[in-house]
Structure 1
Amino acid sequence: MRKTYRNLLGLALATLTASSCQPAKSTSDTSPSEKPNIIFIYADDLGVGDISALNPLSQKVITPAMDRMVKEGLYFADAHSSAAVCTPSRYSLLTGRYNWRTSKKRGVLGGYSFPMLEKGRKTVASLLHDNGYETAMIGKWHLGAKWGVKDEYETEIQARNMKVGDRFGKNEVDFSKPVSGGPEEHGFGYAYWHVGSLDMAPYCFIENKYVADQEFEHFEGQEGMFARPGIKSKSFEFKEIIPDLSRRAVSYIEEKSGNKKPFFLYLPLTAPHTPYVPTDNMRGKSQAGIYGDFVLNVDELVQNVLAKLKEKGIDDNTMVILSSDNGAQKHRGKNKPNIIELKGHYTNAGLYGEKRDIYEGGHRIPFIVRWPGKIKKSRVYPHMIGQLDLMATCAEMLQVKLPKDMGEDSFSFWPAITNENFDKPVREYLVNHSARGQFALRHGDWKYIDGQGSGGWTQNNTPDQQLYNLKKDLYEQEELSAQHPEKIQEMKSKLEQIKTQGYSRTI
């Protein structure tokens, strides 16, 4: 039987409503000559409940910097990643296109997987760069890359494409050669990036196209870290990665703050994804074990970014967006104990399911926009958006029209940012995707799931097609397909239309 949070639904909604009761001043559209700087902080596996201001269930992890973003900005209360796992969500965020329109239909890429982003595919970074922005990426890429290898191993590596783990080493990969298919080929003028997740070899950072530290050793793995063994740069220290990304982000802001050109900084983090490696100053600071302590490292990074913007006097003209690539992971494997909730910390704020699942816990994510010069404090936008809507939003901000082959599934939420009185849905339908390739379709309050079960790790018994009314049942406790067969048919037909026509926005 599902653990129910039905009695907490009113509390959760009341919390959100209370935060939106501040009076707001009127705003006007931004002209192209008033382009804001944009910083997109993309946490890895951060759940809605990991931000204390958004968690009505517990206060085991207190996050003052992220709470500040909620209180000083605009919270999108019904925001979703495209998928319930890392790689596909990152593809959709950057392209404005559903991930399942590619050859990657399930799962994630590994550290040696070939690029997922198609050659020539335009991204948010490309759009901004082509319209006067300086662009940079610092952090986790996880969209594949083509490593330089010795000729005799090229055929073998191609045959093992899309495999996760340390399949190859010094004898096969030539780490002195340039790495292709990365951020700098997709609109980023500067990139400092790790090719996969923090638990995936090769453990090294690439600056633009070259490995930054080419002196390697073998990492054997460590009990309790949840990191795979593999090749590691000698200077790669797991617990120092978030502080290093923070320093580099702050340095970039410092460097660009005096420029006339606006900048776009894409800051995809490696935390709080496994391995859980909080810094010494955060150890024991939360009441949720090392996971909660690691979340505090994310909060510290956010604080450092906001402080530098204030120091450089560009706070009012910088739009900072904080989000996550999917819902939080609560278990360490199928049928294993929920080690996070055992601490009393509800990382997904009571939503059913977790990372990998098609349920709300898998893909409903925090999405907060702070822009002191435009957004009045403590606003809530209650309608549905997807992360892939960033592309159309930036296009409307720039007052440019997207071509047919760019941002095919993206809808603009720019009016919600610039007009505090805007209270209309920006999209009618939204498709979500699980780790095993299961689909869901949202339409208003209704959610249709095309398949049995979670499409991930959560175990349950359901019909082959599922239906939920999220307005009445946010925690997906009452399955309604038998009561509404006509709704099932209507939404199944619409899902098939979106899948087959190749786009969902008005082209």
Structure 2
Amino acid sequence: MKFLQDKLMFYSLATLTVSACQVNDKHSEEDISIKPNIVYIYADDMGIGDISALNPISQKIKTPAMDQLVNEGLCFSDAHSSSGVSTPARYSLLTGRYSWRTSKKRGVLGGLSYPMLAEGRKTVASLLQENGYETAMIGKWHLGAQWGVKDQFEKDVADRNMKLGDRFNIEEIDFSKEVKGGPEEHGFDYAYWHVGSLDMPPYCFIEDKIVSDQEFEYFEGVETMFARKGLKSKSFDFQQVMPDLTKRASNYISEKAKTGKPFFLYLPLTAPHTPYVPTDDKIGRTEAGIYGDFVLDVDEVVDRVLAVLKEQGIDENTMIVLSSDNGAQKHRGKNKPNIIELHGHYTNAGLYGEKRDVYEGGHRVPYVVRWPKMIKEPRVYEHMIGQMDLMATCAEMLNVDLTDDMGEDSFSYWNVLKDSAFTQPVRDNLINHSAKGQFALRQGNWKYIDGQGSGGWTSNDTPDQQLYNLHEDLYEQEELSEKYPDRMNSMKQELEKIKSAKGSRLM
């Protein structure tokens, strides 16, 4: 860790490939009159250090396609998911709202969980759909589903009056019936989706609200794959999920390119989350073990997306966003061995903590935007943004006003995209949340943690309230609450104010 602190200037790409490219390319209204296609590639549990261009100290994995996005696009070096775990991060990305404003205060949903998105809640997809976009979601949903119920259980399920936090019983589900509460009811014209993570049963894909393969078998689970036991469609092949998603995304882009209409493709991948199942041609190709090999399946998605955009002649006016739902998971359980860094690969680029934590390693994520028509030269934006900011950004791009019940915690970074000379902060504060429901507040370089420890799996000995200066101490090694009690108290008050408000944007 000391070596990294001494040597690793975070996102040292800024000095390697970008610093010489600070150009003054303000764009006219004519330049942006054509709505861009948007492809949002959302990796699962991928750390900043898994992209080789963003981790020059420990390049155990070579990712040429993701490096191309970095070398041709805009890197946000202080970008964050709203949480250290999957479900809340995905909720915030799609709605522009912190997930803890719902009744879901901690943890994630499972494959049998009731839907998290309330009926009528606006999403990025529905905003774009209402403004002329074709929309699609291909991949991991992880926001719950309202499964169809066998006739004999309908009254029992109705009597339970299910809500967020409740789960269906597997014996109640009729897999031949429509699955409701998913992407199609929240702004997506087309959806092909797995309801949870790739290690969560039932293992099946849903298309047009119908389970695509309704012949199930019982999967016993594989400890070495880190996959849970449960029902699995007979055709479901863990190792072929990523190639399948890649092919479907490629086909969707090709089809929509022929229509001439703008499209939004939300592509939440199942990798490199467990189970680690790289395709055969990737095995052994990295120096980071089977996890590193699985990252190459993510890189292949990016490579194919770039290729098909170019083949179809729509590369220039397509905005690709690459990010991850949270930081990488380094351990397989609290106090269990670190199976990734055994290979000397720093998946979170040396940041303290990991998935689930409120420390930076839990939620500071890669965030790269490539849009040749708008972003003419590579550059780095150093101020903080959150993934929930996509909603307000799209709204400003489309010249649409958000109502008070849309994107309540979303702030637009549109000015950063369209003007390379824009270097001002786009938000004054940012809240991060851990798997156990612990809060952290960012204000500029200062970070306040309302609680002891990580709120996740990283164990340490800290005071009940913590304060860090990330400008001086990005790796969160020097706790400053005793040294700056007034700042700590003022940030605690600000945190409570934001939590009690209807939305950060509305304060």
For the structure 1 residues 30 and 346, does the alpha-carbon distance in structure 2 shift closer, same or farther, using more than 3 Å as the test? farther
Distance 2:322 2:377 in 1: 15
For the structure 1 residues 27 and 408, does the alpha-carbon distance in structure 2 shift closer, same or farther, using more than 3 Å as the test? same
Q: CA deviation at 1:18?
A: 3.4
**Aligned amino acid, residue 17 of structure 1:** T
**Aligned amino acid, residue 246 of structure 2:** S
Partner SS state of residue 266, structure 1:
strand
- Counterparts of 1:408-447 in structure 2, within 5 Å, are 408-447=408-447
Map of 2:23 onto structure 1: 24
8 Å contact kept, 1:39–1:319 = yes
Partner SS state of residue 320, structure 1:
strand
- Counterparts of 1:206-285 in structure 2, within 5 Å, are 206-285=206-285
Map of 2:7 onto structure 1: 8
**Does residue 303 of the first structure (1) align with residue 303 of the second (2)?**
yes
Q: CA deviation at 1:28?
A: 1.4
Sequence identity, in percent? 68
Deviates more, 1:156-165 or 1:489-498: 156-165
**Aligned amino acid, residue 153 of structure 2:** Y
- Counterparts of 1:337-352 in structure 2, within 5 Å, are 337-352=337-352
Partner SS state of residue 177, structure 1:
coil
Map of 2:68 onto structure 1: 68
**Does residue 115 of the first structure (1) align with residue 140 of the second (2)?**
no
Partner SS state of residue 53, structure 1:
helix
Map of 2:460 onto structure 1: 460
Distance 1:8 1:101 in 2: 39
Q: CA deviation at 1:30?
A: 5.0
**Aligned amino acid, residue 39 of structure 2:** I
**Aligned amino acid, residue 189 of structure 1:** D
8 Å contact kept, 2:12–2:56 = no
**Does residue 91 of the first structure (1) align with residue 67 of the second (2)?**
no
Deviations 1:3-60 (A, max 9, x none): 7742134x33544333322243513155674100000000000100000000133010
**Aligned amino acid, residue 408 of structure 1:** E
For the structure 1 residues 289 and 162, does the alpha-carbon distance in structure 2 shift closer, same or farther, using more than 3 Å as the test? farther
Map of 1:360 onto structure 2: 360
8 Å contact kept, 1:4–1:475 = no
Distance 2:436 2:105 in 1: 8
Partner SS state of residue 455, structure 2:
coil
Map of 1:405 onto structure 2: 405
Q: CA deviation at 1:393?
A: 0.2
8 Å contact kept, 1:62–1:286 = yes
- Count of aligned positions: 503
Distance 1:13 1:262 in 2: 32
Map of 2:484 onto structure 1: 484
Map of 1:451 onto structure 2: 451
Distance 2:383 2:502 in 1: 24
8 Å contact kept, 2:114–2:162 = no
For the structure 1 residues 401 and 216, does the alpha-carbon distance in structure 2 shift closer, same or farther, using more than 3 Å as the test? same
**Aligned amino acid, residue 432 of structure 2:** N
Q: CA deviation at 1:203?
A: 0.3
8 Å contact kept, 2:218–2:232 = yes
8 Å contact kept, 1:74–1:368 = yes
8 Å contact kept, 2:12–2:54 = no
Distance 1:28 1:420 in 2: 9
Q: CA deviation at 1:175?
A: 0.3
For the structure 1 residues 440 and 140, does the alpha-carbon distance in structure 2 shift closer, same or farther, using more than 3 Å as the test? same
Distance 1:277 1:162 in 2: 31
**Aligned amino acid, residue 136 of structure 1:** A
8 Å contact kept, 1:12–1:56 = no
Q: CA deviation at 1:397?
A: 0.2
Deviates more, 1:98-107 or 1:26-35: 26-35
- Counterparts of 1:312-331 in structure 2, within 5 Å, are 312-331=312-331
8 Å contact kept, 1:113–1:161 = no
**Aligned amino acid, residue 230 of structure 1:** G
Q: CA deviation at 1:130?
A: 0.3
Q: CA deviation at 1:463?
A: 0.3
Which TM-score applies when normalising by structure 2?
0.96
- Counterparts of 1:488-503 in structure 2, within 5 Å, are 488-503=488-503
Distance 1:396 1:163 in 2: 34
Q: Which runs of 5+ in 1 are unaligned?
A: none
8 Å contact kept, 1:85–1:326 = yes
Once superposed, which parts of structure 1, at least 4 consecutive aligned residues long, lie more than 6 Å away? 159-165
**Aligned amino acid, residue 125 of structure 1:** A
Which TM-score applies when normalising by structure 1?
0.96
Q: CA deviation at 1:377?
A: 2.8
**Does residue 174 of the first structure (1) align with residue 171 of the second (2)?**
no
Q: CA deviation at 1:259?
A: 1.5
Deviations 1:65-106 (A, max 9, x none): 000000000000000000000000000000000010001000
Distance 1:417 1:427 in 2: 15
Partner SS state of residue 504, structure 2:
coil
RMSD over aligned Cα atoms:
1.8
Deviates more, 1:20-29 or 1:352-361: 20-29
